[in-house]
Structure 1
Amino acid sequence: MASETDAPVDGVLIGEEATPIDLTEQAEVADASFAQVSQVQTVINHIHGDIGGASFGISGSRTKSRRTSGPVSGHEMAEARTRYERHESYEAAAQQLGRCNMVALIGTAGTGRRTAALNLLHDFVGGRREVVVELSPAYTLEKLATREYRKAHGYLLCDWPKDDVDGSIADFHLREIRRRVRDAGAYLVITATATSLPAGDQILWQPPPARDVLLAYQVAPEIAAEAAAHITPEHAMADVVALARDLAAGAPLDQALGRLESAGRRDVVAWFDAPRSRGELFEMAAMAFTAGLPEASFESLLARLESIAGIGMEKADAVSADDPMPSRRLLRVAEGSLFSLSPGRRLEFKVASHRTHVMRELYQRHGMRLWEPVIEWLHECAALRDNPSAQAEVARGVAILASVSDYSYVDSTFLTPWARGNGVMRSQATAAMAVSWLCLDETTRSEVLRTVSSWTRASAARPKFTATLAWSGELGIRFPLEAVRMLWLQIRNSEKPVRHAEIALARLFAALTEATGNALPMLDWVARQISNDKRIGRAIDPLIRAILSVLSARADGVGIPTVTAHLRTRPDSAVPLAKLWSAVLVKRPHRRDALAALYDAVCAFDERDDDDRDHVRALFAALVEALPAKERPLLAHDLRRYAISRNTDENRLEILLSLLRVFLSPAVLSLDTIGKHP
């Protein structure tokens, strides 16, 4: 990837100077871009809610746990230990961990490295709540060497990308890591495909034999032996476990085997093994990147790809009105085809996993004669003006391409060029959507984290904007603390208002609440930052506006306030939310907007529901303690006037007025009385 110093300066050339792009003046484009990322996030949330296996055909992806750093839940630890089969690689890793307090499991994705790591850490530190902590793959060797490790804690660093540093420097950092981990009586397990750690710290990971996994689930020995014969190296451990569970539940062997990923691949390989015309191959390439679009939209995009590839041009002079025209639509979904047409006339693959297998065959079998036109076409699609659905599918397709090829190729060919794209900013949204899809694959998640972090630190405006879009989606859900830090620093350190970063912070709060029900780490972090910030006046205005955007957030701009939804799922968030509201309410220029957000959040609760009433009481009790004493009567007066100006109904106004007395007489209600009715 090119360095930022090599990048062209974004701007509109005037003579020999360039005027930097002011993204705050492109509010409509920014809003549309965030809306596109949000729509993709809705699809991803649906996948997480309804599918327990691989995501969009990527074998080995982990869909249940969204957060990729922080304490590992007791539920996940228990799941990892269920019928876990210890084998030769595991025993070697346990011996290494016992000797050195750290070990790296080196192997391919989908081979059960994470599950093994959780079992190793449980064996050494036990399964107590929050005693196993997952570290962000953004950690470098240097950062690992400087962090503090807690006594008798286990640390997991999954999918760690190779840290390319000089050998002598790496050795220095490694000695410090070992010393710190050992002195703390802690344990560190790393999983990676390659690592900067020396060979002595590495275990070349091999998954347990498929037959042993099946037997661990109490599958009959003769059935286990027959089923294991159908398992290939391409199958992830998740596939083997799913097969074992099906067989243990009494499913017939042929039915259970039919669900394996390999069945879908056989159909795809058979299609590619047959003689294919250029037209068929380019149609298949178009489907690999745009499956799921309406048939007419697909045909329009396919026509453009065929034009770029020069298909049909050589016979243009020979075409006459009497030439036969084949029924292409019927042929496309005929028997033996990989395509199907939904009742809504959307073109789809007959089996969802076909899309990944098709992409793999296209990449492995065909060179630049196919890919040069496809790449040019994808760049056009990424910048389309009025087809967000096509851009969303292209983003998904590019993420699938990364899973079957090489991430660095996808980054240099698509992601970073789109992030830096010229003209009206549309390719930036496509890049951000691709980032969200890439976060579903354990093989690319850590790589894309580093890519987006580099965009955030760029001096150019366009990659920084793309980064804010990416942080507001799945990347922020996976790495919430990294996301909030990056967005906060961008807002804090910018010399000009950074409206898109403020929007991203609010959307991150909404995304975390909707996807996980828990944005508490983000709220706690922001509350600490604003309480420790010593700037005054207009210098702190950007941060106050950012906090106000969080407190006013609503999913997709509609529905109940996100604050209300979050308080319902996490009542303990009342304290950090009160600190944030207090920080805004004491700023006179922002008080009315803060009052509006508070009023909307409170009125979204059901005053007839006891739990909701307690949530409101908790929030007001926390506000009492967060606000300076001299501000309480002023706030009570202003909130009363605001409620009256909103034509509040009498019943709700009575409740609000009773709560306002809290500010005048804090002893009436404090944190000790939360949950107790007056």
Structure 2
Amino acid sequence: MNEEHEEHREQRAQGEPEAHHADPAQPTQGPPAEPDPRPQPQPQPQPQPQPQNAGEDPSDPPAPATPPGQVQHNNVNQYFYGELSASGAQFGIGTTGSDNARRRAVGRLDSGEADAILAPYVKPACFEQAALALQQDGVVVLFGPPGTGKRSGAVALVDALADGSEYVVLSPGRSLDDLASGRVAFEKGVGYVLLDRMGEDSAQTADFDWRRVRDTVREHDARLVVTTVHPGDGAVVESVRHVPWQLPDLTAVLRVRLVRAGCVRDTVERAVSLMPGGCRIAEVAAAAERIACGAAPDEVWQDYGSSAAQPVRDWFARDRTPQEWAEVTTLAFVNGAGYRDFETCQERLESWVAPAFPAPVSEEEQAEVARRTVDRRQSLSRNELVAVAERKNGPLTRTALVFPHPQYRQWALEELWTKRSTPYWNGVRDWLGELVAAQPGLGLQLSVAQGLALLTRPAFDEVADNYLHPWAGGAAGPAGQSTATLVLQCMCLDESLAATALGVARGWARSPDPALRSTAVAAFSGALGVRFPTDAVTTLLRLIIRRGGLPVDAAFALAGLVAVLAECGQDTGAVFRPLAYRLRAQRETLTGQHKENLLGAALTVLRARDARTGRLVCASLMERDGRQTASIGELWAGVLDNLPRRGRAVAALNATLRELPAVSERPEQVAERFGGALGEALTPGDGPPLAAALRLVAARTDGAAGPWVDIFLTAVLSTED
């Protein structure tokens, strides 16, 4: 599949957009939080650069003030990535750490990623059944619970039966109509994988729709493997076989991985003999990697499967006081706080969940409650699920309350959900709502978001109905909206939850509620956009051009997404290509809000600055990834072609050239390449007027861009011939 071609297929005419009159210079920076008595359990992020930097042209107009209710997504996303990059960060979700959120989940699999999946692969008993269905029909659906290896099985199937050696992962948001109607450009000999498909199709037409998909894939002589949790959403499908997927022999998986890593026989056999039950494939892979690096098998297995869950289950199996319930619940959501902050949160939780427990009646019972309240810190010291960690905070060391093992957090939440009834969870809901609405620091927001992301595994409906949807809609204020965004970002850490996060955000984006749409915009500008860039850009562009959309918010989000993609080393062309395509489509349109909104978004993206360094993202990209220069030049040509925006665009172009020496050791080469790309994209005859305007702007500034302006314009004018 040609990824650019698929993006272009998505560029369909949309409804007329609303006007926006602002032309923001960069993603909005959120205002500093007001002082608040709520706990701040984690270090706060460093102050973000101010809009005006040394490298920015002073003639650039300032960004408009953030509209009321708009999510402060740039601060949230940048902090999220900063925390994820921290050494030793543990979130208890999945087994692959922050790398999941820093790479896309769709597109072509490179050879290294494919080899990492295929080299240690062990076939389950159902593999041959699925392979036969794929060979005969060209399409097969694998269904089963998370953690059964459907993803690696899908890649192994297309590797075994596709004619070529190219593998493409499609977005889980693809509908059956998308697959059947040409919106996905299937190519001969290519194997396609659609992971964790969302069941949003009509059950009444499911068999007919699957038949269309099968015929389309056959027509192009391709192969398609789809994975899902549910077999058919209640529909009877006969045209495409749905194969129940099974775990492979996990001891065989472990042996293969350890032998490939060069472990000696004794180590391999000891690791196999100690492997606990209840492990997922990803856990076995993670354990094998640690053992291969020299860790003792008996210590490693304490963190996985039933070994990790049993101490938590044993704790919950005994009678517990309301205070002990509150201790563990607080720790699940306020993880890493110091004693004072933790006890403050715990005390507030106890008041909210009190109706879920019998009230003390006798004087002895009342005295016991009073004693426990006074003895709160000693009670924490006696709780086997509470540990004290010493954490470095600059030159100082601070005390933090955590679980003895990070994996305990997930199991504690699952036990809490199983053991406590609705009145208790109503109290937890109200407590967290109060906590978040008080505008805590981003550290506490992230901790709450981690806990809610883990709770989605046993209780997705609880999280979606009582936290995500209300908070995204503004029920807990702007801090609630940004926390809802962080929950989706944390879900992106887990392969089995990322598609669910995408489905939630897509639902918000389609909502008539502008607050929900604003939260969706924020979500797509961060980790969710990195994981699913085509979905993110398509959604944001629709919100830019549709009537009743959010053109300013979505333009900020596109700029923020470009910055995050660049930071993660991912393909920023996922934003540039479709935006340039839409500008080309509008070139012959003289006026209209559709065109105005697109031009405003393009200029916002081109003027975006990295929130950490303050540097222009596009200037840095032309140095680091020369392949993007042509797309960047095309965007500049589209903006410069618009007479009302030309003055601001020329000033921003001058600022970009001034910044080249700061981001490149070879600014003259970057300037020349940039000028050639822009010249090729300009309408014939536009070069000389641009040269005159740019020289005038450069002369009015401090002249720092002079040498690069001359090199740049020489390259631009050379294309006139």
TM-score w.r.t. the length of structure 2 is: 0.80
Change (3 A) 1:249 1:557: closer
8 Å CA contact 2:685–2:720 kept in 1: the answer is no
Moved more, 100-109 or 605-614: 605-614
Distance 1:339 1:568 in 2: 47
- Matches of 2:371 and 2:384 in 1, distance apart? 27
2:195 matches 1:158: yes
Percent of aligned positions that are identical: 26
Judge conservation of contact 1:338–1:354 (CA < 8 Å) in 2. no
Deviation, 1:386, is: 4.5
Shift of 1:143: 2.2
SS of the equivalent of 1:30 reads: coil
Q: Distance in 2 between matches of 1:274 and 1:413?
A: 29
1:360 is aligned, of 414, 418, 437, to 414
Residue 173 of structure 1, CA deviation? 0.9
Q: The residue matched to 1:554 in structure 2 has which SS?
A: coil
Shift of 1:656: 2.4
Further displaced range: 309-318 or 450-459: 309-318
Q: Does 1:628 align with 2:679?
A: no
Q: Distance in 1 between matches of 2:475 and 2:652?
A: 37
**Residue number among 287, 290, 315 corresponding to 1:271 in the alignment:** 315
* CA shift for structure 1 position 140: 1.9
Q: Does 1:429 align with 2:482?
A: yes
- Is residue 2:224 matched to residue 1:188? yes
1:57 pairs with one of 93, 97, 102: 93
Q: After superposition, where does 1:248-263 map in structure 2 within 5 Å?
A: 248=292, 251-260=295-304, 262-263=306-307
Residue 565 of structure 2, aligned match among 473, 493, 512:
512
Give the letter aligned to residue 173 of structure 2: A
2:552 maps to which of 485, 499, 516: 499
Q: Is the 8 A contact 1:55 1:63 kept in 2?
A: no
Alignment of 1:104-123 (within 5 A): 104-123=141-160
Q: 1:382, 1:427 within 8 Å by CA — same for their partners in 2? A: yes
Distance 1:394 1:288 in 2: 8
Out of 277, 285, 288, the residue aligned to residue 329 of structure 2 is: 285
Cα offset for 1:201? 1.1
Instruction: After superposition, give the CA deviation of every residue in 1:588-624 in whole Å (9 maximum; x if it has no partner).
Output: 3323332343233333333796554323321111011
> Using a 3 Å threshold, how does the CA distance of structure 1 residues 77 and 245 change in structure 2: closer, same or farther?
same
**1-side partners of 2:212 and 2:438: how far apart?**
51
Distance in 2, matches of 1:520 and 1:171, equals 37
SS in 1 for 2:677: helix
- Superposition map of 1:118-137 within 5 A: 118-125=155-162, 128=165, 131-137=166-172
Q: Offset of 1:449 from its aligned partner?
A: 1.7
Higher relative contact order (CA 8 A, sep 6+): 2
Q: Which residue of 2 aligns with 1:381?
A: 435
Deviating more after overlay: 305-314 vs 281-290: 305-314
Report which stretch shifted further, 389-398 or 256-265. Answer: 256-265
TM-superposition CA deviations, 1:27-69 (whole Å, max 9, x none): 365363542243224334x27x977xx9633358894472122
Q: Which amino acid aligns with 2:380?
A: R
Correspondence for 1:560 among 602, 606, 615 = 615
Q: 1:610 to 1:36 in 2, by over 3 A?
A: closer
Instruction: Tell me what 1:16 maps to.
Output: none
The correspondence of residues 22-61 of structure 1 with structure 2, limited to 5 A, is 27=67, 30=70, 32-44=72-84, 46=85, 56-58=92-94
Relative to structure 1, the CA distance from residue 230 to residue 442 in structure 2 (aligned partners, 3 Å threshold; closer, same or farther) is: same
Task: Tell me the CA shift for residue 246 of structure 1.
Answer: 4.5
Are 1:340 and 2:391 matched, yes or no? no
Structure 2 match to 1:298: 342
C-alpha change, 1:247 and 1:56, in structure 2 (3 Å) is closer
Moved more, 227-236 or 156-165: 227-236
What is the CA–CA distance in structure 2 between the aligned matches of 1:607 and 1:550, rounded to whole Å? 20
Aligned partner of 2:255 among 215, 218, 223: 215
Shift in alpha-carbon separation, 1:520–1:294, aligned structure 2, 3 A: farther
Tell me the C-alpha RMSD between the 2 structures: 3.2
- Find the partner of 1:143 among 164, 169, 178: 178
CA distance in 2, matches of 1:247, 1:323: 47
Deviations 1:527-560 (CA, angstroms, capped at 9, x unpaired): 0011102443352222211111111112227521
What's the offset of the Cα at 1:452?
A: 1.6
| Residue 638 of structure 1: how far off its partner (Å) | 2.1
- Contact conserved, 1:62 with 1:442, CA < 8 A, in 2? no
Report the CA distance between 1:93 and its aligned residue. Answer: 2.0
Change (3 A) 1:224 1:647: same
Q: 1 CA distance for matches of 2:299 and 2:160?
A: 36
| Conserved 8 A contact 1:110-1:237 | yes
Match of 1:653 in 2: 706
Counterpart in 2 of 1:102?
139
Mapped to 1, the partners of 2:155 and 2:217 lie a distance apart of 17
> 5 Å matches for 1:458-497?
458-494=511-547
Is residue 505–residue 520 contact of structure 2 (8 Å, CA) maintained in 1? yes
Question: 3-state DSSP class of the match of 1:347?
Answer: strand
Q: Residue 631 of structure 1: CA displacement?
A: 2.2
1:116 maps to a residue whose letter is G
Relative distance call for 1:496 and 1:538 in structure 2 (3 A) is farther
Instruction: Please report the TM-score for the alignment, with normalisation by the length of structure 1.
Output: 0.85
Q: CA offsets, 1:349-407, max 9 Å, x none?
A: 2322221111111112222242121112122233223444333322221111002x132
Deviations 1:149-191 (A, max 9, x none): 2111111011123345234x11111111111112221111111
1:198 corresponds to which letter in structure 2?
A: V
Higher mean alpha-carbon deviation, 73-82 vs 564-573, is at 564-573
**Conserved? CA contact 2:509–2:539, under 8 Å:** yes
For residues 613 and 267 of structure 2, what CA distance do their matches in structure 1 show?
53
Match of 1:571 in 2: 626
* Partner secondary structure for residue 399 of structure 2: coil
Amino acid at match of 2:647: R
Is 1:597 matched with 2:633? Answer: no
Partner of 1:15: none
User: Secondary structure of the residue that 2:418 maps to in structure 1?
Assistant: helix
| Shift in alpha-carbon separation, 1:524–1:126, aligned structure 2, 3 A | same
CA 1:285/1:154 → structure 2, altered by over 3 Å: closer, same or farther?
A: same
Q: Tell me the secondary structure at the aligned position of residue 449 of structure 2.
A: helix
- 1:351 and 1:616 map into 2 onto residues whose CA distance is 52
Q: Which residue of 2 aligns with 1:548?
A: 603
Question: Is the contact between residue 372 and residue 379 of structure 2 (CA under 8 Å) also seen in structure 1?
Answer: no
Say if 2:108 is the partner of 1:71. Answer: yes
Residue 523 of structure 1: how far off its partner (Å)? 0.6
1:675 corresponds in structure 2 to: none
Listed one character per residue, the Cα deviations across residues 460-503 of structure 1 (whole Å, up to 9, x for unaligned) are 21111111111111111111111111111111123587321221
SS at match of 1:605: helix
- Tell me the residue number matched to 1:443: 496
Contact kept, 8 Å, 1:132 with 1:156, in 2: the verdict is yes
> Structure 2 CA distance, aligned partners of 1:379 and 1:335?
26
Deviation at 1:411, TM superposition (A): 1.4
CA distance in structure 2 between the partners assigned to 1:488 and 1:572 by the alignment? 23
Task: Tell me which residue corresponds to 1:173.
Answer: 209
466-475 or 265-274, which deviates more: 265-274
Q: Distance in 2 between matches of 1:142 and 1:517?
A: 29
Pick from 275, 280, 284 the counterpart of residue 240 of structure 1.
Answer: 284
The equivalent of 1:231 in structure 2 is 275
- Aligned residue for 2:48? none
List alignment gaps of at least 5 residues for structure 1. Answer: 1-23, 669-678
Q: Is the 8 A contact 1:159 1:446 kept in 2?
A: yes
Instruction: Name the CA distance, whole Å, in 2 between partners of 1:414 and 1:121.
Output: 39
Q: Determine the C-alpha separation between the residues in 2 that align with 1:61 and 1:187.
A: 31
Q: How far does the alpha carbon of each residue in 1:511-538 deviate from its partner, in whole angstroms, 9 at most, with x for none?
A: 1111233211221111001110244335
Aligned position for 1:528: 581
1:119 is paired with a residue whose SS is: helix
Q: Counterpart of 2:640? A: 585
Corresponding residue to 2:426 among 372, 384, 387: 372
Tell me the number of residue pairs that the alignment of Structure 1 and Structure 2 aligns. 634
